[in-house]
Amino acid sequence: MPKVSLTVNGRAVSADVEGRTLLVQLLREKLGLTGTHVGCDTSQCGACVVHIDGKSVKSCTYLAVAAEGANVTTIEGLANGNELHPMQAAFKEHHGLQCGFCTPGMVMSAVDLAKRNSNPSEHEVREWLEGNICRCTGYHNIVKAVQAGAKAMAGAKAAAD
């Protein structure tokens, strides 16, 4: 069985995996990081989105062995202790979630968008979220949350700079 070594949420980990093991299985089943969800088997729904080296990736279509040496961030690695990441806080403030199942993937996608575009238009947000399906919210509040989260991230970055 191949061994894979990578960094997950800042922690160095290694695990024995099968060649067919997907990154999402490694995260959920071997590392106990169950915040990353599996909502489909065709890479359509986006519930499994994580960041690999800072970019959003669907972890259900990514072999665990391909993550060798990578820096992976999951939803569990986003908040600073009990202090929510600005994007998480925006989802709460704007009621951008209901059942919460698609939420981790949505938030991870949204953070990647916000890094690329600090002031996305409604149209840009809707287009970016094409790969994430939500069945509860009708997207209305998710769009608002992503716009507000992107602004908050830009504000936080400016303050830090």
Partner 1 sequence: MGAEGIGAAVRRKEDFRFLTGRGNYTDDINRPGQTHAYFLRSQVAHATIGNIDTAKAAKAPGVVAIFTGADFAADGKGGLPCGWLVKNKDGSPMQEPPHPVLAQGKVRHVGDPIAVVIAETREQAKDAAELIDVQLTELPVVGTMADAVKPGAAKVHDGGNVCYDWHIGDKDACDAAFKKAFKVAKLDLVNNRLIPNAMEPRAAIGDFDRATGEYTLYTTSQNPHVIRLLMGAFVLQIPESRLRVVAPDVGGGFGSKIFHYAEEATVTWASAKVGRPIKWTCDRAESFMSDAHGRDHVSHAEMAMDKDGKFLALRVKTDANMGAYLSTFAPAVPTYLYATLLAGTYTTPVIYAEVRALFTNTVPVDAYRGAGRPEATFLLERLVDNCAAEMGMDRVEIRKRNFIPADAFPYQTPVALQYDSGDYQATLASALKIADWAGFEARRVAAAKKGKLRGIGISTYLEACGIAPSAVVGSLGARAGLYECANIRVHPTGSVTVFTGCHSHGQGHETTYAQLVADRLGISIDQIEVSHGDTNKIPFGMGTYGSRSLAVGGTAIVKALDKIVDKAKKIAAHLLEASPADIELKDGKFVVAGTDKAKAFGEISLAAYVPHNYPIDTVEPGLEETAFYDPKNFTFPGGCHICEVEIDPDTGVTKVVKFTAVDDVGRVVNPMIVEGQVHGGLAQGIGQALLETCVYDENGQLRSGSYMDYTMPRADDLPSFDVATQSTLCTHNPLGVKGVGEVGAIGSPPAVINAVVDALRETGVRHIDMPATPSKIWALLNSGRRAAAE
Residues that bind partner 1 (CB under 8 A): 18, 20, 28, 33-42, 44-45, 47, 74-76, 78-79, 84, 88, 91-93, 95, 97-104, 107, 122-123, 125-127, 129-130, 132-143
Of residues 63 and 158, the one with the C-beta less far from partner 1: 63
In angstroms, what is the minimal distance from the CB of 68 to partner 1? 21
Of residues 64 and 104, the one with the C-beta less far from partner 1: 104
Within 10 Å of residue 153's Cβ, how many Cβ atoms? 20
Of residues 56 and 141, the one with the C-beta less far from partner 1: 141
∠107-108-113 over CA atoms, to 5°?
95
Residue 82 CA: distances (Å) to CA of 32, 76, 77, 128: 19, 11, 11, 28
CA atoms within 13 A on the CB side of 136: 12
In angstroms, what is the minimal distance from the CB of 161 to partner 1? 26
